[in-house]
Each structure stands twice: as C-alpha cells, then as structure tokens.
C-alpha cells in the first residue's frame, strides 16, 4: 500500500495558490478514480481507496505547510508503513511551469513542507516535483508561491493535474517510468505518427513517360527506295 501525500495549506484562502498544487493533484486523483469523500484523520484529511487491486491512501496534511511531517508521520504509524511506501507531491520552483519530475531520496532544497517531512520520517521517500517556475529572485519566493495561479497558467496546469491523475495507479505500484510516461502523454503529446511537429509531405516522384512503341517496319527494300525519291 502507498501513502500518497499532497502538500499545501488548508483553507479556501490558499486553495488556488502555487504552493497548493499538491492538494490540487490529490483532489483530481480522488475525483477521477472514484475515491470516497475526504474525512479528517491523522492531522489532515484522507481518502482511502484502490487503483484496481492496489490499495492507496491519499493524505492532505492540515497542519500548514511548515508542519506537514507531523501528519505524514501519524498516518505512517497508523498504517504501519515505511518511508519507501510514501510519495509526496509538491510545488517545485526550480522546475519550469508544467514540468514534472519523479525522484526518490535527496535533499529538501529549502522547501518548508519537505523540510518538515524530512525531520519526521527521513529523506528516503519518493517525491513528485510539480514545476511552478521561479519569480527570479529568492527574496520573492514566499510571496510568489503564496499567490494564486494566473489565468495564463490554466491550460498547462490542467494538463499536469490530468497527467498526474492518469499516472496515479503507477505511483501506487511504484513504477516511476510508467508514471512519467502517463504525465508525458498529457503535457507533451505526440503530434503525429512520425513524432515530428510539422512533418513535411513527401514530394511525389515524377512518372517517367511511357517508352515509344515503334511500328514494325514491313516495307520492302524497293518500297523504301521509292519513298526516298518522292
């Protein structure tokens, strides 16, 4: 069983923030795969369901971002899970908007939600990094991630959320390659059978003219001579 965690801040005030893309992804997964209604538990809200035969628990910590690890740890203890059974979905300013990466282990790169998770369960869990872009200067980061997505972001954001939802069954089985392929089919769909964006039509080859079909020469030598002097 996998514990799939989306990071964010609780409350309508934050619901459309860039920092809440993890919550958004879990909401899409739950809706698309028929998970039951969310209920309060483990210092967060959970929805427990299945992707086919594979059981999974979706968790949105309600401790606020900086204390996300408390909720994750409580859920892990209840379900008797190890860090390798946990997948965390979170916003990533070091990736361009619409980019998605999967990794296991590593540092928290200053992300306060991941910092808290690290402190409570260690670094050996999987994470799905959902790119939201960088404001350009580190001092602008807090205000940037706590602002709503712009209208111009709607199309790529919808593609990312749908792609993550499409690949959620693969997260539940731990198949990162299949998960990333499912995301890629949404955010970078193949445009033609050749894989080319604007494949050029092949130029038709000229058809050679038919070879002449000379008439058989049936004239006698005498007739040829008469024709020659006409």
Burial class (CB in 10 A: 0-12, 13-18, 19+), 88: buried
CA 108 from centroid of its chain's CA atoms: 21
Sequence-separated (6 or more) residues with CB below 8 Å from residue 80: none
Number of C-beta neighbours around residue 57 at 10 A: 23
CA distances from 145 to 149, 182, 183 (A): 9, 26, 23
Residue 19 annotated to the active site: yes
**Token couple for 218:** 């049936």
Q: Which of 19, 33, 42, 90 is catalytic?
A: 19
Q: Which residues are catalytic?
A: 19
């Amino acid at each position: 069983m996998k514990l799939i965690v989306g990071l964010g801040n609780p409350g309508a005030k934050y619901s459309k923030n860039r920092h809440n893309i993890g919550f958004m992804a879990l909401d899409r997964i739950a809706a698309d795969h028929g998970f039951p209604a969310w209920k309060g538990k483990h210092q967060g809200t959970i929805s427990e369901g299945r992707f086919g035969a594979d059981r999974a628990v979706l968790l949105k910590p309600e401790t606020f971002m900086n204390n996300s690890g408390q909720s994750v740890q409580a859920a892990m203890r209840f379900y008797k899970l190890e860090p390798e059974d946990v997948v965390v979905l979170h916003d990533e300013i070091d990736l361009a908007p619409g980019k998605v990466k999967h990794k296991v282990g590593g540092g928290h790169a200053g992300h306060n939600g991941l910092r808290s998770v690290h402190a409570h369960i260690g670094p050996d869990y999987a994470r799905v990094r959902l790119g939201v872009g960088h404001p350009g200067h580190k001092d602008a980061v807090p205000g940037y991630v706590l602002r709503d997505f712009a209208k111009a972001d709607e199309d790529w954001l919808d593609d990312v959320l749908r792609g993550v939802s499409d690949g959620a069954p693969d997260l539940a089985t731990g198949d990162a390659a299949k998960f990333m392929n499912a995301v890629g089919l949404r955010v970078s769909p193949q445009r033609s059978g050749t894989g080319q964006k604007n494949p050029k039509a092949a130029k038709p080859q000229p058809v050679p003219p038919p070879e002449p079909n000379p008439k058989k020469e049936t004239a006698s030598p005498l007739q040829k001579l008469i024709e020659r002097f006409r």
